[in-house]
Structure 1
Amino acid sequence: MRSRTGLTVRTFAPDQAAARPPVLLVHGFGSHGNRDWVETGIARALAAAGRVVIVPDLRGHGDSPAPLAADEVAAPAHVTDLVAVLDEAGADTFDVVGYSLGARLAWELPKTAPGRLRRAVLGGLSPVEPFEAVDVAALHRAVAGGAEPADPFTAAIAGMVRAHGARAAGLALCVEGLRSTPFTPRTWAGRTPPVFVVGKDDAMTRGIEQVVDLLDGAELVTVPGDHLEVLAGAAFRRTVLEVLAG
C-alpha cells in the first residue's frame, strides 16, 4: 500500500499477536523491502512469532517514488519518512532491524523518535560513510550516458546504479544525498544498546568494533557470509528473532 509519505509499505499481521511492539524492517541501498525481508523469509518469520511487521521501500527504491532532488534522500529525510510510516501505523513504540543503509538510518531513529524505540538489530553496518569517496558530478554524468568516471570507485558505483535502469537517476540522487549527510557514529540515543550483526567475510563492515566500543552494553554477532549473503542466511534470521524476543 502507499503511505501518506508516498512510500510503498508492506505490512504483515500475525494470526495471534504477541505482547511486543511492531517491527520496522529497513532495507539496504539499491534494494527494496521485498528483496531484503520478504524473499529472505524474515518478515514472515517475525509475523509467525506474533509480531506486526512494517516493511517500507525507501524513497528512490523499489515501488516508492523517485526523488526529484538530493535533499529528499539525504539521511535525515529518509529517517523522517520512516518515522512518518511508524506514525501512520500507530506504532507508539517499535523495534527495528536495518541492513546496510537500513542500519545506518536505524541508528538515527532514536534521536528522531525519542523514547519510542525498544530494541534494534543493525546488520551489515559500515563504520564509515562509503559514499564520501564518490565523485558525485562524475556519477551523474555516467548515469545520464556520459563519460565513464576516471575514479574506479565512482565507476563501480555508477555501474551498480545503472543496472537499475529507470531507477538509476533517482539512486544517483540518493548517493548524493547520503554523501552530503555522512554517517558519523557517536552516542546511541536508544534506551537499549543495539545488537550489531556482521558477516564473517563482509569487507564493508571492517572496523565495526570501533562503533560497538562506543556503546556500553552493545553486542557484536558474527554470522557466516559476505555482505550480500548474510541476509538470506539462517544465522542472521535466528539472531533477529532471538534479539527481538527479549
Structure 2
Amino acid sequence: MPDTAGLAVRTLTPDAPAEAPPVLLVHGFGSDGAGDWIDTGVAAALTAAGRTVIIPDLRGHGASPAPESAAEATAPALAADLLAAADAAGAATFDIAGYSLGARVAWAVAAAAPDRVERSVLGGLSPVEPFTAVDIEALHRAVREGAQCPDPFTAAIAGMVSAHGDRAPGLALCVEGLRDTPFAGGAWDAKVLPVFVVGENDELTRGIDGLAGSLGARLVTVPGAHHEVLGGPHFRDTVLDVLAR
C-alpha cells in the first residue's frame, strides 16, 4: 500500500481525463472529505470536468487516525500528511481547494511545498487563528471529564468537539496543535496567487479582504453564512472556474 501517512484517502478518477494536474480537496474542522466535497457535489463536478480528485480525511477526522499528540496536529504536520497523500497518488504537482480549516492547512501546504502547488481556492478562511482564544486545559478537561468551561468560547468549542463522541479527544488535540501554530498570513509562496472565497454573511472571515489585498489576490464573495457556502452552487462554480485549464 502507498504511504499516505496513515490517512484515509479517496481518489476519484474521471472517465475522460483532462490534461491538468490532480486536485487536492481539504475539508473543514469536525467534518471529513465525504461531507465537504462528495456530498456537496464539488468532487463530481471536478471529475466531470476531467480532473482526478484526491480527498483525504485530516488526522483526527473522518476515517483517519487520531493524532497521538498535539505535535501531530500542528498546521505544518497536517500539511506534511497531505503531501504524503499527494505523493501516494503520484501527484508531483496539484491544484488545491480547502474550506475553513482546510484552507488554513492548504496555506501550510503551499508554504511547505510551493513548487508543487499550482492553482488554489481558499474558502471560508479566517484571517486570524480562532483557536488561540481557547483555554486548552479546560477544553481537554471538558472532553475527558465533562467538566464545565468558564470561558464561553472554550465551552462552545468543547460542545462542538464533544458531539463527535469517541473522536472528541483527537479533535481536542487538533485544536491544541492549531493553537500552537496560529495562522498569521504573510507571503504566499506558490506559483499562482490563491483565490479567496467568502460568504457574504460569514462573520468568521471578516478582515480577509485585508489579507487578499496585501497579496494582490482575487476575493470572491458568494451568498451564505460560514456553514452554508460550501454546499452552494456559487462556491462550486468558483472552484471550477479558478481551477479550469
TM over 0.5: yes
Q: Answer yes or no: is the 8 Å Cα contact 2:143–2:161 preserved in 1.
A: yes
Equivalent position of 1:241 in the other structure: 240
CA displacement 1:103-162 (0-9 Å, x = unmatched): 011112222113111100000000000000000000000001242100000000000000
Q: Answer yes or no: is the 8 Å Cα contact 1:70–1:174 preserved in 2.
A: yes
Matched to 1:39, the amino acid is D
CA displacement 1:140-194 (0-9 Å, x = unmatched): 0000124210000000000000000010000000000000000011000011111
Equivalent position of 1:135 in the other structure: 135
Equivalent position of 1:81 in the other structure: 81
Matched to 1:137, the amino acid is E
Aligned counterparts of 1:203 and 1:128: Cα–Cα separation in 2: 12
Alignment of 1:47-196 (within 5 A): 47-196=47-196
Q: Answer yes or no: is the 8 Å Cα contact 2:27–2:33 preserved in 1.
A: yes
Cα deviation for residue 2 of structure 1 reads 8.0
Aligned counterparts of 2:180 and 2:25: Cα–Cα separation in 1: 24
Q: Answer yes or no: is the 8 Å Cα contact 2:60–2:66 preserved in 1.
A: yes
Aligned counterparts of 2:4 and 2:214: Cα–Cα separation in 1: 36
Equivalent position of 2:221 in the other structure: 222
Structure 2 unmatched runs, 5+? none
Counterpart secondary structure, 1:144? helix
Q: Answer yes or no: is the 8 Å Cα contact 2:4–2:81 preserved in 1.
A: no
Cα deviation for residue 234 of structure 1 reads 0.3
Counterpart secondary structure, 2:227? coil
Q: Answer yes or no: is the 8 Å Cα contact 2:2–2:88 preserved in 1.
A: no
Aligned counterparts of 1:234 and 1:123: Cα–Cα separation in 2: 13
Q: Answer yes or no: is the 8 Å Cα contact 1:2–1:8 preserved in 2.
A: no
Moved over 2 A (4+): 1-4
Matched to 2:44, the amino acid is R
CA displacement 1:179-229 (0-9 Å, x = unmatched): 00000110000111110000011010001011101212x100000110100
Aligned counterparts of 2:126 and 2:67: Cα–Cα separation in 1: 24
Matched to 1:44, the amino acid is A
**TM-score normalised by length of structure 2:** 0.98
Aligned counterparts of 2:91 and 2:232: Cα–Cα separation in 1: 28
**TM-score normalised by length of structure 1:** 0.97
Matched to 2:33, the amino acid is G
1:203 aligns with 2:179: no
Counterpart secondary structure, 2:16? coil
Q: Answer yes or no: is the 8 Å Cα contact 1:18–1:49 preserved in 2.
A: yes
Structure 1 unmatched runs, 5+? none
Counterpart secondary structure, 1:63? coil
Aligned counterparts of 1:13 and 1:31: Cα–Cα separation in 2: 23
Aligned counterparts of 1:224 and 1:56: Cα–Cα separation in 2: 27
Aligned counterparts of 2:200 and 2:142: Cα–Cα separation in 1: 33
Counterpart secondary structure, 1:228? helix
Counterpart secondary structure, 2:224? coil
Q: How many residues align?
A: 245
Q: Answer yes or no: is the 8 Å Cα contact 2:114–2:191 preserved in 1.
A: no
Matched to 2:219, the amino acid is L
Aligned counterparts of 2:223 and 2:215: Cα–Cα separation in 1: 24
Q: Answer yes or no: is the 8 Å Cα contact 2:76–2:109 preserved in 1.
A: no
Matched to 1:210, the amino acid is G
Aligned counterparts of 1:147 and 1:110: Cα–Cα separation in 2: 38
